[in-house]
């Protein structure tokens, strides 16, 4: 530490305080960062990772083939998949296999996005929705009917895209 006498200290440290106060003062006249949730809704970033969607192709078939790569990559073991076989009468996905059951335990999920990264068909995407709270634990195990996007493209993923 350099030795300063009393006056020198008053000037240097006082300037620092004024510098800090200037920041406060500047923000006093800017619009606030705080969002008045839930009255007002925040805008999330373009690559925000929120609740998952199982996406569809434009023809309505499911992208998911039940390969379980998301299951094995998931660091919090939040995903359960049970596969079944397509039949000529009931073709759910392309190829021979589809996910008969698909569950994500939202209590466990850490929204890392590895599942999306591992998915070979681009079936699972993490959407923008973050309002996932509930009063019951059971309600936070999302089943296939909850995860599936309501119509092709609803999740924001282009249904005409191959993968």
Partner 1 sequence: MSTVTLTINGRTVTVPKGTTVYHAARQLGVEIPIFCYHDRMPPLGACRMCFVQVEKMPRLQTSCTLEAQEGMVVWTESPTVVEARRAILEFLLINHPLDCPICDKGGECPLQDNTFKYGPGASRFVEPKRRFPKAVRLSPVLTLDRERCIMCWRCTRFGEVVAGDHALKGHDRGYRTHIDVPPVTQERPSKFIGNTIAICPVGALTSGVYRFRARPWDNRPVASVCNHCGVGCATWVDARGGEVVRVRAREKAEVNDIWLCDLGFFGYDYTQHPDRLTTPYVRERGVLREASWEEALDRVAHALGEAAPRVAALGGERLTVEEAYLLGRLFRSLGSNHVDARADARFTPSAREWAWGSGTFQALESAAVLVLVGCDLTEEYPVLWLRAKRALDRGLVGVAISPKRLEVEPYLKCSVLHDYGAEADVLYAAACLVGERAGGLPEPLREVDVDESCRRAGVDRAAVEELVRCLEAGPAVFAVGRLSWDGPHPERTLAALQTLQAVHGGQVWVLRGKGNAVGALLAGLVPDALPGLVALDDPQARARLHEVWGFAPPEEPGLSTPAMLEACAAGALRVLYVAGADPARDFPDGALWHRARAGLQLLVVTELFWTDTARQADVVLPALSIFEREGTVVNLEGRPQRVAPSRMGPPGARADGEILQVLAARLGRPMEYASVGAVWAELRRAAPQLDLDRPTELPRPRPQVEYRRPAAAGRQEEGLWVIPAAPLFRQGEMSARSRGLPELAGTPAVVLHAQDAAALGVDDGAEVELRAGDAVARVRAEVADRARPGHVLVPVGFSQLPRARWANPELRVRIRVLEGVSR
Q: Interface with partner 1 by CB under 8 A: which residues?
A: 65-69, 71-72, 82-85, 95-97, 120-121
Within 8 A by CB and 6+ apart from 26, the residues are none
Nearer to partner 1, 132 or 141 (CB): 141
Nearer to partner 1, 83 or 132 (CB): 83
* Residue 16 beta carbon to partner 1: minimum distance, rounded to whole angstroms: 56
Nearer to partner 1, 42 or 95 (CB): 95
**Nearest CA-CA partner of 137 in 109, 91, 105:** 105
**Full DSSP string of 7-67:** HHHHHHHHHHHHHHHHHHHHHHTSPPS---TTTS-PPPPTT---SEEE-B-TTS-BS----
* Residue 63 beta carbon to partner 1: minimum distance, rounded to whole angstroms: 11
* Residue 43 beta carbon to partner 1: minimum distance, rounded to whole angstroms: 35
């Amino acid at each position: 530490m350099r030795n300063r006498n009393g006056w020198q200290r008053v000037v240097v440290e006082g300037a620092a305080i004024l510098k800090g106060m200037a920041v406060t003062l500047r923000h006093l006249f800017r619009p606030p960062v705080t969002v008045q949730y839930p009255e007002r809704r925040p805008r999330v970033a373009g690559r925000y990772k929120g609740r998952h969607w199982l996406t569809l192709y434009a023809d309505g078939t499911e992208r998911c083939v039940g390969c379980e790569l998301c299951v094995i990559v998931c660091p919090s073991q939040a995903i359960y998949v049970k596969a079944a076989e397509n039949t000529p009468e009931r073709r759910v996905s392309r190829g021979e296999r589809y996910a008969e059951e698909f569950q994500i335990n939202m209590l466990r999920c850490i929204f890392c996005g590895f599942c999306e990264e591992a998915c070979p068909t681009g079936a699972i995407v993490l959407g923008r929705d973050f309002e996932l709270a509930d009063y019951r634990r059971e309600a936070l195990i999302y089943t296939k009917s909850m995860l599936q996007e309501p119509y092709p493209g609803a999740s924001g993923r282009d249904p005409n895209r191959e993968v």
